[in-house]
Amino acid sequence: MNTIKPERTPGWLNLPSLGLPLRMLFTGYLLVTGVGLMMAGVQILLTHGMADGKWGISVNDIVYSYYGNRGGSRIESKLEGSMKDKAPVDVRASIVEWVHAGASEEQWDRSVKALFQQNCVKCHGNIPGLPDFSTYQGVLSVSTIDLGATVDSLARVSHIHLFGISFIFLFVGFIFSFAIGIPRAIKAAVIFIPFAFLIVDVLSWWITKWYPNFAIVTIVGGFGYTLAAAFMLLTSLYQMWVMPMMGKRPDIDAWHDD
């Protein structure tokens, strides 16, 4: 029985023996994509990389970008500082917890207001010049924390990212699919991995928004698809330009794809 494997169809493209026009087309695209990836890296370093005030990308950067910096409110530092003796420890803990959760008005009405009434309002509400803690607005003025990315901005960035980057992987993977000498299973995996990591990456932003420990997954996902893309890009360029110069232009017989 003769089964024809599409990879062995005579005349099918392979990178080392592409004609010059197609090589120029693929090379132009890969070069621009490579520069684009580097620019993306610089941009990530400049925005997320500086989120914790230090150079370089770290888990804290990702946490600050998506989850926010929730320890930074004035009320929290005061409750650890000069207001420490104004309320018992469990009350202070409840207030901090409420602030970290986003200082909702609903919870304020339900329970938090009473805590301030009992412990704080005799001064903060009577002494002029101090913020008035008998109202929600007054407490909010010292409770603002950075809650990280908003759902709006996440949704916007997510869909741009998914549509845009999947196109890059489509073409980079398409070109790489004409590479030779790479076992079929590995080739298939390398082509698919960036798409999987892209989903993981974008999902991890959303999860990090609520569970900061997930930030590490964002970094792993980003590195994962960058590595896979870099591998495809470099292999393709090598096979299009270096291999023909070394006289390696395989005919169909040398076409071992699996």
Query: C-beta of 71: minimal distance to ligand HEC in Å?
Result: 14
Residue 110: which region, alpha, beta or left (left: phi > 0; alpha: psi -120 to 50)? alpha
Binding to ligand HEC (CB under 6 A) within 107-126 occurs at: 119-120, 122-124
Binding to ligand HEC (CB under 6 A) within 231-250 occurs at: none
Q: Does 131 bind ligand HEC (CB under 6 A)?
A: yes
Binding to ligand HEC (CB under 6 A) within 24-83 occurs at: 74-75, 78-79, 82-83
Using the rule CB under 6 A, which residue among 86, 100, 161, 248 binds ligand HEC?
86
Query: C-beta of 101: minimal distance to ligand HEC in Å?
Result: 16
Query: C-beta of 124: minimal distance to ligand HEC in Å?
Result: 5
Is 149:121 a contact under the CB 8 Å cutoff?
no
Query: C-beta of 141: minimal distance to ligand HEC in Å?
Result: 8
Indicate the residue among 62 and 120 with the shorter CB distance to ligand HEC.
Answer: 120
Distance, CA of 49 to CA of 2 (rounded, Å): 57
Indicate the residue among 66 and 133 with the shorter CB distance to ligand HEC.
Answer: 133
Two tokens, residue 227:
């590595």
CB atoms within 10 A of CB 210: 10
- One-letter amino acid at 168 equals I
DSSP, collapsed to helix, strand or coil, labels residue 69 as: strand
Query: C-beta of 148: minimal distance to ligand HEC in Å?
Result: 22
CA 208 to chain centre: 10
Q: Which residues bind ligand HEC (CB under 6 A)?
A: 74-75, 78-79, 82-83, 86-87, 119-120, 122-124, 130-131, 142
